């Protein structure tokens, strides 16, 4: 379905939270934006396995505008398996050129490009082929997929985010990444003020209830540089993670 036109005041509202060309060019780390849509009770879906629309069409367009401004878009395997998202950019005249590279964090190697929405869009030249993040040489290598091999942190049994973003910049020329979720990924990265440059949260005017998938980091997280946009049914918060 076609997107609504972008609300006229959003580009200026978002401007100082978008990847900056000068910063991008000089940094070792890519510019990282953490962005998602949540309900008033901090749920990002109605429950496990349930793809849930929270954003109003005008904030959905904003998400595609954000996609246009990033080289890569990262999600966890939970989201890839449940939502089968397209992760392309429908904003602007050329979906292929405007789209970020989908990056799927799939250390357990469960997600397949073959048969996915990402493949369907790639075949129609409306989206880019994905980079799949793994911890060792993948058991199955799919055509058109590139693999980022990222070491696992022995203590946490998770990949080291800093290392991953360095690999994406160094080996794949990805200078900016928009992280879209899901909850597991967001709850980790809300604690990483050392990595996250911008936080952009759409808040829909609905409660999804306590069986919904919750975004809530394991400890207090303070924000700085907050600014709010108000749409028809949603508000958008732009901020940065505070150092404390
Ligand atoms: N409303 C919104 O904006 C969004 C909503 N969602 C929703 O979120 C839900 C999925 O969230 P989750 O189940 O939490 O899954 P998730 O998408 O956060 O993926 C979790 C998986 O990613 C991998 N992973 C995460 N961090 C890792 C690390 N540091 N190292 C290695 N592997 C790592 C693991 O395999 C883990 O099981 C779905 O219901 C989806 O619809 C997802 C994205 C955005
Ligand atoms: N911005 C936003 N609003 C919502 O209401 C959502 N449910 C999401 N979900 C994210 O978008 C992905 C779907 O992308 P495609 O439209 O298929 O390209 C989904 O997987 C979540 O990451 N986002």
Best residue for ligand 1 mutational test, from 37, 48, 105, 149 (most atoms within 8 Å of Cβ): 105
Q: Is residue 8 part of a domain?
A: no
Does residue 198 form part of some domain?
yes
Cβ of residue 63 lying under 6 Å from some atom of ligand 2: yes
Q: Tell whether 178 is covered by a domain.
A: yes
**CATH number of the domain that residue 105 is part of:** 3.40.430.10
The percent helix, strand, coil of the chain (3-state, each to 5) is 25, 25, 50
Number of domains, the chain: 1
Q: Residue 172 sits in which domain range? A: 26-42+52-241
Query: pLDDT-based confidence at 24, cuts 50/70/90?
Result: low
Residue pair 24/30 in contact (Cβ under 8 Å)? The answer is: yes
User: Of the candidates 23, 40, 13, 35, which has an alpha carbon nearest to the alpha carbon of residue 226?
Assistant: 13
Distance in angstroms (rounded) separating the CA atoms of residues 95 and 114:
20
Contacts of 60 (CB under 8 A, 6+ apart): 3, 4
Q: How far is the CA of 69 from the centre of ligand 1 (A)?
A: 22
Instruction: Say whether pTM exceeds 0.90.
Output: yes
Residue 80, ligand 2, Cβ within 6 A: no
165 pLDDT exceeds 60? yes
Element (H, E) at 235: strand 235-241
Contact (CB, 8 A) for 195 and 165 = yes
Residue 193 maps to a domain:
yes
Q: Is the C-beta atom of 75 inside 6 A of ligand 2?
A: yes
Q: How far is CA 212 from the centre of its chain?
A: 19
Ligand nearest to the CA of 183: 1
In this structure, what token pair is assigned to residue 222? 């303070």
The yes/no answer to whether this complex scores an ipTM above 0.85 is yes
Residue 21 within a domain: no
- pLDDT in the model for residue 203: 98
Determine if residue 45 is left, alpha or beta; phi over 0 gives left, psi from -120 to 50 gives alpha, anything else beta: beta
CA of 52 to the centre of ligand 2 (A): 8
Ligand nearest to the CA of 211: 1
Q: Does residue 20 form part of some domain? A: no
Answer whether residue 16 is part of any domain. no
Does the structure show a pLDDT above 80 at 201?
yes
Q: Which residues line ligand 1 (CB under 6 A)?
A: 36-37, 44-45, 51, 54, 75-79, 82-83, 105, 107-108, 158-159, 180-185, 188, 213
Q: Decide if 7 is inside a domain.
A: no
Return the number of other C-beta atoms located less than 10 Å from residue 19's C-beta: 20
Q: Give the tokens for residue 153.
A: 């942190």
pLDDT band at 20, cuts 50/70/90?
Answer: confident
pLDDT band at 95 (very low <50, low <70, confident <90, very high): confident
Q: Which ligand is nearest to the CA of 106?
A: 1
Tell me the pLDDT tens digit for each residue of 124-164: 999 999 999 999 999 999 999 999 999 998 888 899 999 99
């Amino acid at each position: 379905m076609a997107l609504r036109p972008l609300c006229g005041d959003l580009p200026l509202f978002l401007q100082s939270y978008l990847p900056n060309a000068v910063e991008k060019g000089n940094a070792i780390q890519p510019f990282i934006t953490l962005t998602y849509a949540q309900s008033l009770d901090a749920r990002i879906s109605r429950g496990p396995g349930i793809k849930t629309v929270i954003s109003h069409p005008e904030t959905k367009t904003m998400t595609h505008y954000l996609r246009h401004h990033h080289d890569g878009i990262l999600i966890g395997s939970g989201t890839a398996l449940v939502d089968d998202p397209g992760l392309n950019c429908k904003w602007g005249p050329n979906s292929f050129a405007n789209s970020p590279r989908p990056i799927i964090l799939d250390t357990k190697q469960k997600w397949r490009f073959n048969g996915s929405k990402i493949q369907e869009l790639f075949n129609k030249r409306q989206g880019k082929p994905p980079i799949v993040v793994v911890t060792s040489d993948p058991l199955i290598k799919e055509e058109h997929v590139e693999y980022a091999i990222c070491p696992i942190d022995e203590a946490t049994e998770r990949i080291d985010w800093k290392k991953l973003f360095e690999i994406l910049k160094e080996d794949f020329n990805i200078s900016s990444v928009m992280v879209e979720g899901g909850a597991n990924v967001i709850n980790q990265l809300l604690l990483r003020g050392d990595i996250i440059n911008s936080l952009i949260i759409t808040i829909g005017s609905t409660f999804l209830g306590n069986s919904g998938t919750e975004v809530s980091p394991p400890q207090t997280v303070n924000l700085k540089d907050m600014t709010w946009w108000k749409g028809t049914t949603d508000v958008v918060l732009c901020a940065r993670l505070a150092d404390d």
